[in-house]
Structure 1
Amino acid sequence: MARRGEEEDEWGEEAEESVERVFEGREVPGWKEQITARALATSALLGSMFSVIVMKLNLTTGIIPSLNVSAGLLGFFLLTSWTRLLSRAGVRGVKPFTRQENTVVQTCVVACSGIAFSGGFGSYIFAMSDRISEQSGEVYDADSIKNPSLGWMIGFLVIVSFLGLFSVVPLRKIMIIDYKLIYPSGTATAHLINSFHTPQGAKLAKRQVKTLGRYFAMSFSWGIFQWFYSAGKDCGFKAFPTMGLEAYYHRFYFDFSATYVGVGMICPYLVNISVLIGGIMSWGIMWPYIEHKKGDWYSADLKPSSLRGIVGYRVFISIALILGDGLYNFLKVMTKTMIALAAQVRFMLSGPSLPISNADDQDQTPAETFDDQRRKEVFLRDQIPNTFALGAYLGIAVVSIFTAPRIFHQLRWYHVACSYLVAPVLAFCNAYGCGLTDWSLATTYGKLAIFLVGAWAGQANGGIIAGLAACGVMIGIVSTASDLTQDFKTGYMTLASPRSMFVSQVIGTAMGCVIAPSVFWLFYKAFPGIGMPGSEYPSPNALVYRNMAILGVQGIGTLPKHCLQLCIGFFVGAIAMNLARDVVGPSAARFVPLPMAMAIPFYLGPYFGIDMCIGSLIRFVWDRVDSAKAGVFAPPVASGLICGEGIWTLPQSLLALAGVHPPICMKFLSRANNAKVDAIIGIRTVH
């Protein structure tokens, strides 16, 4: 997945002149006035829209670009349009739209759509289903299966998604003011929102919205056009053999996806190139070679989906790359976190007061700018009682300890209790590390829980489901903790109250706990082939997580011949590539591939990497022709491409549920196969 907040480079650093001087004459509304009914209605609308987009991406490749720019931009556009419309209609008492309200919308939308990713619908939750279990080629009893159901999914998300919010509330002052952590994503989002609410920024935002709307319409229309030709498997433009039939059989083709062209325009060049390199290495070199070893390295009589055959190499080698990359980055971020934390503590201990003091000390140091003083004053004004946060955490934890095992009987209460004992420490480490590096390790902690709890429970006691459920518990806590601290940073820089940030995060999370499962349920019912190889929504990460759980309870006995040696080689290779990136320096590191990105096409194929590289090429040429314009308008163009085709999925799902299917199948055959088909069915001449 692409890291949240890559747009920092797009918008640059804070200008030398004071930002808060520009807004000095404007009154800062109270925290209750920042959370308005119109802001929540807009958040619900955009949160639903973005949940559909994230769910589509999650069920295809799992690469989720930053949608913060789109959330902030569309929130600004909708609410400014609404207030302007009411004013023109003569409605009195319409409150002006403020940057604090804009921050609330952005926070609520990202919290809502974030559940579509962290909720595990393309990973640990779907990995529990019999559909994914069958693909693994392993037969298990009912204790190793739990099929999706709207009721238990909503209930599970409700009991695990809020704990992370309460776990970091007591640390807000330490993170933002005492330690002055950067939080690049939160800072970039704040710069964006601040710029919208200046006269110059409002004009630019209007042009950006028009650009986004134009490409949204184009992408949406293209999605409708493609649908007419997709009446069957391997039909339509998504099965267009653009590089020839032989290349198509090895999944090398351009599938005309506006979504992934847009993703390629947003993601860094290195991510896209790494995906393509991984696809070439696997589907162009390794898999053809291993397939020639059928009957030697693995039995020729296995099911096509068996883990003891070619699928085992595809899945476990990609897991080795993911784990090697995750372990290296985990140790790297943790080391940086501990070193920086120790330095901060030493500095604070040498000063007149401790960093954990609850005193609202507002004495200004000579180094503080006007912006720092103003932001600190507002940030410390509306405090959230620590006793409330700690009490809520303990209350929800107790409820969850007794409720989660009722949803997953394989998960024991002491598994959940142990998770909640270590979760606040991990949440703090993830939030602190995210503030330093902008890199969230939530999925890494989740994978660690799969192995530890799965092995603890054991295969005979449903260790697969227990490990996957524990993964959900850990990701739910750790990811929301880092998201909230990012939002505290955004609120700090836009003078939004910490209380309004916390409440909007809670409301957005509550929306997501209902909206995200509902969107997944719509996909699950509308597309019968969801989760199956070669389908429109193969959900590759679900199979990866399932096999991690199998590996955790069974050990390496599930691996086919020579797969362990290959896995070790790629695991070490992932660590070596990351180490090389850090050793050679930034200028040379941009030529070293990213192992995590390389691992994604090992199972799926390189076709979406080709789409992303085309998006990169468009962005590269645009940067060379007019870099200033590209920096401002490329994100709206990319967002429009992603949102348009993504939103088309919603009416497409409703058509499928209503029994309306595409009328035409456009399929490509070789000349020889075409002659055979013509001989069997005959040809009807078109006059």
Structure 2
Amino acid sequence: MEHDEDGRHSVVRRDVHEATGYPVATDSYVVHPVHHWGDNKNPVEAADDEPRGQIVPMDKSGNLKDAYPKVDESMGIEADYMDVPLPPWREQLTLRAFVVALVLGIAFSIVTHRLNLTVGIIPSLNVPAGLLGFFFIKTWVKLLTKAGFTSKPFTRQENTVIQTCVVSCYGIAFSGGFGSYLLGMSQFAYEGVGVDTKGNTVQDIKNPSLSWIYPFIFTVSLLGIFVLVPLRKIMIIDYRLTYPSGTATAVLINSFHTPSGAKIAKKQVKYLGKYFTFSFAWSFFKWFFSGLDNSCGFDTFPSLGLKAYANRFYFDFSMTYVGAGIICPHIVNVSVLFGAIVSWGLMWPLIQNREGDWYPAGLNPGRDFRGLFGYKVFISIAIILGDGLYNFFKVTCVTVWNLYIQHKNRQQLPSTVTKSEDEDNLDFDRKRRDQIFMKDSVPYWLALAGYVILAIISMVVIPHLFPSVKWYYVFVAYIIAPLFAFCNAYGCGLTDWSLASNYGKLLLFIFAAWAGAGGGGILAGLAACGVMMSIVATASDLMQDFKTGYMTLSSPRSMFTAQLIGGIMGCIVGPATFWLYWKAFDIGSPNSTYKAPSAVIYRTMALLGVEGFGSLPNHCLQLCAGWFAFAVVVNAIRDYIPKKYSRFIPIPMAMAIPFYIGAYFAIDMFIGTCIVFLWERKNKTKASTFAAAVASGLICGDGLWIIPTAILNFAKVNPPICMFFFRAKDPILATLG
């Protein structure tokens, strides 16, 4: 999902638009994922020969072809499905679909929390959701058939419902702020900012507790499902917005339900299962050597030397980050590594040499904002804001311009043209899809009533949970939320960029300043950020799902219901799985695996809204201004020079991630990108088809190891061995032997 420390936004290359569309009627296609990375859907241009994200064609026998054709909407597909009965919308919502969605939603929520609490890079799990949904239901049907029972056929509409429900469920693990704004309210974030920092008061502490997390999440996370329902026809049919992620997912699901597509899907699931097993077993093996504390084990292996380890340069053998590197485009991984080298290899050692001059000596380098820690956090924020604001204004301009073009074109009479055969196919597909999309419309009164009722509940509940948030703060937020949701959904339909976190940060600053210092301004800003971010992100996701449903002939009512049920699942599963981490691990500790760095960053942003920049160390503001300008200029250069050059320019948002966290995960992700690069050199087609499945297996296997780890921690069972490293000259050798 920007890297926004927190987020769910996609890193999408511009060639996704060219690579998505309808499959040729005689062939099947496998589409690789749009990548979730942080919270800003910045498009990342891939190399001309990079196949990830393209549609991989197969012949009728299920064999992969070597070519990478560009597919567009002129290629008809619905004629192939004319003999397939279209299930009514209620029959698309099956019990087995929701059971599978719940299981996958729990698993993916655990993985999402793990990533949120470490580095905040969230790869897309849409493809694994579609793949595993397909595999589980097919297996279910096969087992029942062998047992002599009859079972309903598995349709692409049911597959779409599963994928929609899973994404809606694990999306709450992101938008709920469990690694960002929600934890920014906690004691450890308060201490991380500095107990002596002006404006950072104990009145602005609210530690996590299920007693208030559940009502808050239920209150803010479901509103976005209702806000844009009345505009679905305008977005999908009238404006014909692309929604590349939704389109790519639809092509994937359509391809699964052809004979050759099902064959490839099963192969992908086998890859996912094999590497899931390997990753889970490797995590189990590592556990044996991680005794005593977090200084033990492979996670602290000084693979590049002890000096590099002291500057957080080491490979920590984490399959999660290797998998993330496999999924993310090369430029993202290289940008992360470049940011790590610039910060931990150059800037921080140089600034540390100015200790006693630029800032007082003897300060805690991992906690005190008056010292080196202040430079790390504020420069990271400057880059994040520079990148985010640039893309905010860019997408806003794109949205306004395209709205003007749409309006202008509607005022002009179309000229007479002769239709080609492709256009006839296109008209057939469009007419068929338009007919189904408008047949089972969601009543406008239901959407309006749902939004108003939840808004009224919010104006009662949120001020009760956060006394510094007045009811009229919530009222103002809900008045402007539909406008922001429309802008974000429209821009996402054009570019696949979601700026939900930027809208959240905008309200964070506004409401923190509105509440003011000493009046709970930090809590007010963080809560307002959560309200806006949840609404805007969920509304955009729903419109993506409507696009997927439009292209798979799934009923809008089934899409809306699946999104709503998935959201309710997420409101239950998200806090519960987060609580597993919170109780089993020392979240936020500098020595913990789960440092939750975004929590401190979000609290610092709220503090800036309340107090301004008065507490910064010397020259920090000038450095922040320079890096802010750097982010803006680099983004502008990337947008306005030819693609063959811009693909080599690093992404500022990706560079900002290691500035605060460290370089260790950058090494892991770079190894992942090297694996894919070498695999592509050996067999580009196979790499394009199975890389996402391999990455998903590595991520899920390592992520799900958290369950037995938590159980062992609860049972106070410690690893039997502590493996650690020291210099040969250290006196500890004298005590050995």
Is this a same-fold pair by TM over 0.5?
Answer: yes
Q: Distance in 2 between matches of 1:100 and 1:191?
A: 12
Report the counterpart of residue 498 of structure 2 in structure 1: 440
Structure 2 residue 732 is the aligned partner of structure 1 residue 677: yes
Aligned residue number for residue 267 of structure 2: 207
Distance in 1, matches of 2:655 and 2:201, equals 34
- Report the Cα offset of residue 4 of structure 1: 3.6
- Among 566, 579, 600, which residue is 1:543 paired with? 600
CA deviation after TM superposition for structure 1 residue 349, in Å: 4.1
SS at 2:117 equivalent: helix
For residues 635-681 of structure 1, give each alpha carbon's deviation from its aligned partner in whole angstroms, at most 9, with x where no partner exists.
101111111101111111121112112111100001122xx1233xx
Instruction: Determine if contact 1:463/1:553 at 8 Å carries over to the other structure.
Output: yes
Return the match for 2:132 from 74, 91, 96. Answer: 74
Higher helix residue share = 1
TM-superposed deviation, 1:151: 2.0
Question: Distance in 2 between the 1:70 and 1:589 partners?
Answer: 30
Alignment length (residue pairs):
666
Match of 1:356 in 2: none
* 1:654-665 superposed matches below 5 A: 654-665=711-722
Aligned to 1:325: 387
Aligned to 1:103: 160
Aligned Cα root-mean-square deviation (Å): 1.4
> Which residue, out of 584, 588, 595, partners 2:641?
584
Distance in 1 (alpha carbons) for counterparts of 2:347 and 2:426: 57
Distance in 2 (CA, whole Å) between partners of 1:256 and 1:473 is: 37
Q: Secondary structure at the match of 2:356?
A: coil
> TM-score of the superposition, structure 2-length normalised?
0.89
Q: 1:632 to 1:577 in 2, by over 3 A?
A: same
Match status 1:269 vs 2:330: yes
1:136-175 matches, within 5 Å, as 136-139=193-196, 140-175=200-235
Which residue number corresponds to residue 520 of structure 2? 462
Within the alignment, does 1:25 sit opposite 2:83 as a pair?
Answer: yes
Q: Deviations over 1:244-288 (max 9, x none)?
A: 000000011111111111111110111101100110000000000
Amino acid at match of 1:378: I
Opposite residue 302 of structure 1, the aligned amino acid is: L
Looking at structure 1, the residues matched to 409 and 166 of structure 2 have their Cα atoms a distance apart, in angstroms, of 37
Letter in 1 for 2:374: G
- For 1:70, give the aligned amino acid: P
1:343, distance to aligned residue in structure 2 (A): 1.2
Q: Secondary structure at the match of 2:124?
A: coil
Q: 2:297 maps to what in 1?
A: 236
Q: How far does the alpha carbon of each residue in 1:506-530 deviate from its partner, in whole angstroms, 9 at most, with x for none? A: 01111111111111111010002x1
Corresponding residue of 1:652:
709
Is the CA contact (8 Å cut-off) linking 2:195 and 2:201 kept in structure 1? no
CA distance in 2, matches of 1:316, 1:337: 31
Structure-2 residue corresponding to 1:198:
258
Q: State whether residues 138 and 307 of structure 1, in contact with CA within 8 Å, keep that contact through their aligned partners in structure 2.
A: no
Q: Equivalent residue for 1:358?
A: none
CA distance in 2, matches of 1:457, 1:371: 53
The answer (yes or no) to whether the contact 1:551–1:558 under 8 Å persists in 2 is: no
DSSP-derived class of the 1:556 partner: coil
Distance (Å, rounded) in 2 between the aligned partners of 1:5 and 1:28: 34
* CA–CA separation in structure 1 for the residues paired with 2:278 and 2:345: 33
TM alignment of 1:111-510, pairs within 5 A: 111-139=168-196, 140-231=200-291, 232-304=293-365, 305-350=367-412, 368-510=426-568
CA distance in 2, matches of 1:648, 1:460: 43
Deviation digits for residues 541-590 of structure 1 (CA, Å, limit 9, x no counterpart):
11110111111111010211000000000000000000000111222111
Structure 1, gaps ≥5 residues long:
353-364
Greater RCO structure (CA 8 Å; 6+ sep): 1
Partners of 1:163 and 1:69 in 2: how far apart? 26
Following superposition, the deviation at residue 496 of structure 1 comes to 0.5
Which residue identity lines up with residue 151 of structure 1 in the other structure?
A: S
Distance in 2 of aligned mates of 1:109 and 1:400 = 25
Check conservation: 2:76, 2:425, Cα contact below 8 A. no
2:687 is the alignment partner of 1:634? no
Contact 1:5 1:189 in 2 (8 A): no
Quick one: which amino acid aligns to residue 147 of structure 1?
N
Q: 1:418 to 1:351 in 2, by over 3 A?
A: farther
Question: Does the C-alpha gap of structure 1 residues 534 and 601 become closer, same or farther in structure 2, counting only changes over 3 Å?
Answer: farther
CA–CA distance in structure 2, aligned partners of residues 332 and 643 of structure 1? 35
* Number of the residue aligned with 2:60: none
- Cα deviation 1:612-645 (Å, max 9, x = unaligned): 1111011011111111111111110111111110
Give 1:476's aligned amino acid: S
Letter in 2 for 1:650: I
- Provide the C-alpha distance between the structure 1 equivalents of 2:599 and 2:424, rounded to a whole number of angstroms: 54
Separation (CA, whole Å) in 2 of partners of 1:159 and 1:345: 36
Q: 1:667 maps to which residue?
A: 724
Deviations 1:19-73 (A, max 9, x none): 1122111011011100100000000000000000010001000000111110000
Contact 1:455–1:553 (8 Å) recurs in 2: yes
Q: Which amino acid aligns with 1:683?
A: L
Distance in 2, matches of 1:4 and 1:501, equals 21
Q: Percent identity?
A: 56
Task: Give 1:533 shift.
Answer: 2.1
Residue 38 (structure 1) aligned with residue 96 (structure 2): yes
Show the counterpart of 1:531. Answer: 588
Shift of 1:595: 0.8
* 1:359 match: none
Corresponding residue of 2:112: 54
Secondary structure at the aligned position of 1:610 is classed as helix
What SS is found at the alignment partner of 1:256? coil
Q: 1:10 corresponds to which residue?
A: 54
Tell me if structure 1 keeps the 8 A contact 2:185–2:523.
Answer: yes
Amino acid aligned to 1:587: K
Name the counterpart of 1:567: 624
The CA distance in 2 between the partners of 1:637 and 1:71, in whole Å, is 14
SS in 1 for 2:489: helix
Q: CA separation in 2, counterparts of 1:519 and 1:310?
A: 34
1: CA distance between counterparts of 2:454 and 2:71?
Answer: 40
Is contact 1:5–1:68 with CA below 8 Å preserved after alignment? no
Q: Give the 3-state SS of the residue equivalent to 2:722 in structure 1.
A: coil
Mapped to 1, the partners of 2:449 and 2:406 lie a distance apart of 28
1:87 to 121, 145, 163: 145
Instruction: Output the CA distance in 2 between the equivalents of 1:439 and 1:424.
Output: 18
Residues in 2 aligned to 1:533 and 1:438: alpha-carbon distance in whole angstroms = 35
Q: For 2:409, give the aligned amino acid.
A: F
Q: Which residue of 1 aligns with 2:418?
A: none
Query: CA, structure 1 residues 497+5, in 2 after alignment: closer, same or farther (shift >3 Å)?
Result: farther
- Any idea what SS the aligned residue of 2:439 has? coil
Quick check: 1:617 aligned with 2:678? no
Letter in 2 for 1:660: V
Residue of structure 2 in register with 1:360 after alignment: none
Alpha-carbon distance in structure 2 between the residues aligned to 1:366 and 1:208: 34
Amino acid at match of 2:55: W
The residue that corresponds to 2:46 in the other structure is none
Give me the whole-angstrom Cα distance separating, in 2, the residues matched to 1:428 and 1:294: 49
The DSSP-based 3-state class of the residue aligned with 1:60 is: coil
Shift of 1:229: 0.6
Deviations 1:378-415 (A, max 9, x none): 11110011121112111111111111110111111111
Amino acid of the structure 2 residue aligned with 1:233:
N
* Alpha-carbon offset, residue 368 of structure 1: 4.3
